[in-house]
Structure 1
Amino acid sequence: MTGARPALPSGAGRAVFLRIDGTPLHVRAEGRGPACLLTGGLGSSWFDWDLVVPFLTPYRTVVRFDRPGYGLSAPEPADRPPPTAAGEAHRIRAVLDALGLPGPCTVAGHSLAAFHVEAFARLYPARTAGLVLLDGSVEADPRPLPAPGLRDLAARAAAGAATAVAVPYLLGPTVRRLAARATTVRREDLAPAPLVRHCYRTGRSLRALLRENARYLDAAAELAGLRRTVPLPAGLPVTVLAADDGLRGRRTEQWLAAQRDLAALLGAEYRRTAPAGHLLMFDRPDAVASAVLDTVR
């Protein structure tokens, strides 16, 4: 791979809106060099990577996007099926295609999105230069729950009912702030307050979160099936970066053990970063960037 800057659409580094499978998605691409894509976990928005991006842009073309309903992206139409790991892998490929980035890309996924980027690496091996799982979700023996259609309908209905009585508008930003503070060792949300208010007081963000959460075990089971049938590309560099909050309690030790097991399962390099909470992009953006920069085929 060369260090030449790939061709990007005008507005790279600023917000661009790309229609992916009929849904306008908010996408940002900035920097120069080989491409890397950063995608966040449940309820995450593009600005959660803001502290990481400056470490990467001198060496990489950095792509971020909001999944449907999150950040500045439009919600998916009501007739679309619920989210899946393979569907999110397809969305990643479609974003890269729309940006004119056909070459191999390092993909990094945080938390739930670790399912998505691993699925991408398995389903699109020629498009994958490296794989980074950032405190990724882990399920030892996942089983899909029954009635996925009914669960998705219930998630939509719950979001609609809450939006009708202004719950997201009144409580969304506060809940986001509390969740961020609880998952960083800093105990603060470093995201810009105006953006948090703009993005988290909408019904579309609540609907996206509830739909993804309702499908969590299904996505885990789907990925487990891919692991049995679709191998990772031979020689693919894979890194598992685990957040260690510095507390030597049972919960922390169990989480780190699960991350080590995930690394062993994937034949990945295991890295532990401390002190860092689950939102390690806030606590240790340097370690996150190092994991991405070091993971190149």
Structure 2
Amino acid sequence: MSERFVRIDGSAVHVRREGSGPVCVLSGGLGMSWFDWEPVVRLLAPHRTVLRFDRPGYGLSAPARPAPTAAGEAERIALLLDTLGLAGPCTMVGHSLAGFHVEAFARLHPVRTAGLVLVDASVEPRPRPRPAPGLRDQAARALAAAAGALALPYLLGPPGRRLVARASTACHADLAPESLVRRCYRPTRALRAALRENTSYLDQAAELAALRARHPLPAVPVTVLAADRARGTRSAARWLTRQRELAALLGGDFRIAAPAGHLVMYDRPDVVARAVLDCR
């Protein structure tokens, strides 16, 4: 296992590389850090070279100045692979919001994509960009700065992270080490990154819709993996329907992880790992 910081567009990006074999890249959802993939990495590392990284502001990565975009995150992944000397095609794995990013990567860098696994990925059937993206991004940054001045991230960041993780798993547990949660969620940069990604969410969804119209998906294996807590509610059924529709749109395989909350990598790491391994 190797761990390092790579400078991309002027910001230090934290990345971990472990295992051997064909390369797969793991990218977490909004607010997630590299260690959230740990249960999956343990299953993949004997068979794959696993690359996981923190987007700007998350985990141990420094903040970035530009507002987050789907294409920008796809380019960040490409530059990261270039810096690490990984030129061959990779299996791209995106959870939640990062589903936008890895699909954008596949469309913009088709020859570098060996497969696509979308883990309970974000879905917006008819997205429209919201007005004044620059002003909204400034507002998100200002709100984070005000919270930081009051020490709110330091006081509430770790318990807030724990609360969200427990609510997003079928096991109702946050498996991340307490020391890492404190280290990564006390700094204001994590809150700033989450607010910036949240305020740009619909813009990124609309951006991906435009990319779909201009850039075809390469002919590679695609798996859409949906979480199902087996609650039988209308909202749960609606979510699974949207995930099936995403799989149909991308011409991919649709699979269900159950019982699992949104953090599928905690509840069913075996299902996530199998989806990745089946790409080759």
Tell me the TM-score normalised to structure 2 length.
Answer: 0.99
Aligned partners of 2:71 and 2:15: how far apart in 1? Answer: 20
Partner of 2:193: 208
**What is the Cα deviation at residue 295 of structure 1?**
1.4
Partner of 1:112: 97
**What is the Cα deviation at residue 15 of structure 1?**
2.1
Partner of 1:8: none
Matched, 1:258 2:246: no
SS in 2 for 1:292: helix
- Residue 220 of structure 1: which of 205, 222, 241 is its match? 205
Aligned partners of 2:207 and 2:12: how far apart in 1? Answer: 26
Aligned partners of 1:97 and 1:33: how far apart in 2? Answer: 18
SS in 1 for 2:66: coil
Let me know the Cα RMSD of the aligned residues. Answer: 0.6
Aligned partners of 1:16 and 1:194: how far apart in 2? Answer: 19
Which letter maps to 1:269? Answer: D
- Residue 193 of structure 1: which of 164, 167, 178 is its match? 178
SS in 2 for 1:50: helix
Partner of 2:217: 232
Partner of 1:81: 66
Matched, 1:99 2:87: no
**What is the Cα deviation at residue 14 of structure 1?**
3.3
- Identity of matched residues, %: 67
Partner of 1:42: 30
- Residue 170 of structure 1: which of 127, 147, 155 is its match? 155
Aligned partners of 1:250 and 1:191: how far apart in 2? Answer: 31
Aligned partners of 1:152 and 1:260: how far apart in 2? Answer: 32
- Residue 59 of structure 2: which of 66, 71, 93 is its match? 71
> Any idea what the Cα deviations from partners look like across 1:270-295, whole Å, max 9, x if unmatched?
00110000000000000000011111
> Any idea what the Cα deviations from partners look like across 1:48-96, whole Å, max 9, x if unmatched?
00000011111110000000110001111xxx32110000000011111
Aligned partners of 1:152 and 1:88: how far apart in 2? Answer: 16
Matched, 1:142 2:130: no
SS in 2 for 1:132: strand
Which letter maps to 2:223? Answer: T
Which letter maps to 1:129? Answer: A
> Any idea what the Cα deviations from partners look like across 1:71-129, whole Å, max 9, x if unmatched?
001111xxx32110000000011111111100000000000000000000000001000
Which letter maps to 2:234? Answer: R
Which letter maps to 1:250? Answer: R
Q: Which runs of 5+ in 2 are unaligned?
A: none
SS in 2 for 1:51: helix
Partner of 1:276: 260
Aligned partners of 1:252 and 1:237: how far apart in 2? Answer: 26
SS in 1 for 2:42: helix
SS in 2 for 1:52: helix
Aligned partners of 1:51 and 1:121: how far apart in 2? Answer: 25
Aligned partners of 1:132 and 1:40: how far apart in 2? Answer: 12
Which letter maps to 1:290? Answer: R
Q: Which runs of 5+ in 1 are unaligned?
A: 1-12
SS in 1 for 2:76: helix
Partner of 2:16: 28
SS in 1 for 2:125: coil
SS in 1 for 2:2: coil
Aligned partners of 2:3 and 2:19: how far apart in 1? Answer: 14
Which letter maps to 2:123? Answer: V
Which letter maps to 1:255? Answer: W
